[in-house]
Amino acid sequence: MKIAVLPGDGIGPEIVTEAVKVLKALDVPLEMETALVGGCAYAAHGHPLPEATLKLAKAADAVLFGAVGDWQYDKLERHLRPEQAILGLRKNLGLFANFRPAICYEQLVNASSLKPELVAGLDILIIRELTGDIYFGQPRGRRTATDGHFPGSDEAYDTMRYSRPEIERIAHVAFQAARKRNKKVTSVDKANVLETFQFWRDVVAEVGQQYPDVALDHMYVDNAAMQLVRAPKAFDVIVTGNLFGDILSDEASMLTGSIGMLPSASLNASNFGLYEPSHGSAPDIAGKGIANPLATILSAAMMLRFSLNQADAAQRIEAAVQAVLRQGLRTGDIYSNGTTLVTTVEMGNAVVKAL
């Protein structure tokens, strides 16, 4: 099985190295090829998503991705910024369904910023639509100077839109996922203010009629943001659009202890997927050897399960991660008194040893 490995920028190469180390320790035949993506690809080839990188990703059975983005590229025109690489990959590969499980491991109950009783046993799934919404509308502003008119302009806007098929397919994904869990879907929108999300609500409700065994409720995004920290265990599956999902899944990450713990899978209609941690390139800690590699290692486990049909290997990785947490090993983001502080590399080595 061929894996395209795209480490990217910032802490990307550090955390992906550890995930690759873990994958190599399994007895699964994987062929891994690495390519540049993001700011480093722009620096080398003048584009954040070079043709060769896209070709490698398309030819692979799955993509393991680190993160992209660096402050030094913030002044580039929008279409050349590192973040366009991940948007381009999602669009080109049709990765419309983003799975972000937020599970609070028993050993990390005290690392969460919420009270232990609120997060102990937490296991929710956020499903974020990934190829529509305001991120793929028409932007206009100072950094989108494709016709040369915008620099100096005094306004900027982005358009928000969803089509019926886009909403239907993500709704089906959510209801089907809920069927394998606790049979409850909460659709998060802003139907009270935005036409796009009134439409979203109507279409999700229509699709819901095909799943009478799954309970559906609708919640405004501002309320959902509050409920996530008030009573997070009341959720099972949350389905939402691209923008709200981006924000709520980061919020949910803190329930689990750290954004460094949260894996993600982005799938297309035929289960081809790109697997990446939910966090970004963390330029503030890049090169220091202190990033938490567990979100990336757990993303590799999701890759084995969802795209490569290797559920046993996935479970072995997840069990190894739990074992190192039980041993008390912690990177700085999940450290608490009485545990052992380790580096990125030491954490990766410990997972390999536990395997």
- The binding site for ligand NAD (CB under 6 A) comprises 11, 15, 67-69, 83, 86, 259-260, 276, 279-285, 291-292, 295, 333
Closest distance between ligand NAD and the C-beta of residue 29, in Å?
28
- Catalytic-labelled residue, pool 42, 135, 162, 211: 135
- By beta-carbon proximity to ligand NAD, the closer residue of 13 and 283 is 283
Q: E-strand spans in 137-248? A: 184-189, 215-220, 237-240
Packing angle of the helix pair 311-326, 294-306 (nearest 10 deg)? 160
- Residue 335 annotated as catalytic: no
Gap between the Cα atoms of 179 and 156, Å rounded:
42
- By beta-carbon proximity to ligand NAD, the closer residue of 12 and 208 is 12
Question: In this structure, are residues 132 and 164 in contact, taking their beta carbons and an 8 Å threshold?
Answer: no
For ligand NAD, the nearest residue by Cβ is 69
Q: Would you state the structure tokens that stand for residue 230, as one six-digit string?
A: 């008030």
Packing angle of the helix pair 344-354, 311-326 (nearest 10 deg)? 120
Give the dihedral of Cα atoms 211, 197, 239, 298; nearest 10 deg. 150
- By beta-carbon proximity to ligand NAD, the closer residue of 11 and 35 is 11
Closest distance between ligand NAD and the C-beta of residue 263, in Å?
11
- Residue 246 annotated as catalytic: yes
Question: In this structure, are residues 128 and 168 in contact, taking their beta carbons and an 8 Å threshold?
Answer: no
Q: At which residue do the structure tokens 């809920």 appear? A: 178
- Catalytic-labelled residue, pool 222, 288, 312, 353: 222
Closest distance between ligand NAD and the C-beta of residue 306, in Å?
18
Amino acid identity of residue 27, one-letter, is D
- By beta-carbon proximity to ligand NAD, the closer residue of 213 and 284 is 284
- By beta-carbon proximity to ligand NAD, the closer residue of 36 and 204 is 36
- Catalytic-labelled residue, pool 61, 123, 158, 250: 250
Closest distance between ligand NAD and the C-beta of residue 79, in Å?
15
- Residue 75 annotated as catalytic: no
Closest distance between ligand NAD and the C-beta of residue 102, in Å?
15
- Residue 73 annotated as catalytic: no
Give the chain's largest Cα–Cα span. Answer: 59
- Residue 222 annotated as catalytic: yes
- Catalytic-labelled residue, pool 190, 236, 275, 333: 190
- By beta-carbon proximity to ligand NAD, the closer residue of 185 and 285 is 285
Q: Would you state the structure tokens that stand for residue 113, as one six-digit string?
A: 């910023």
Closest distance between ligand NAD and the C-beta of residue 89, in Å?
10
Q: Which strands sit side by side in the sheet containing 62-67, from one edge to the other?
A: 31-34, 2-8, 62-67, 273-277, 263-267, 97-103, 123-129, 237-240, 184-189, 215-220
Q: Which residues are catalytic?
A: 135, 190, 222, 246, 250
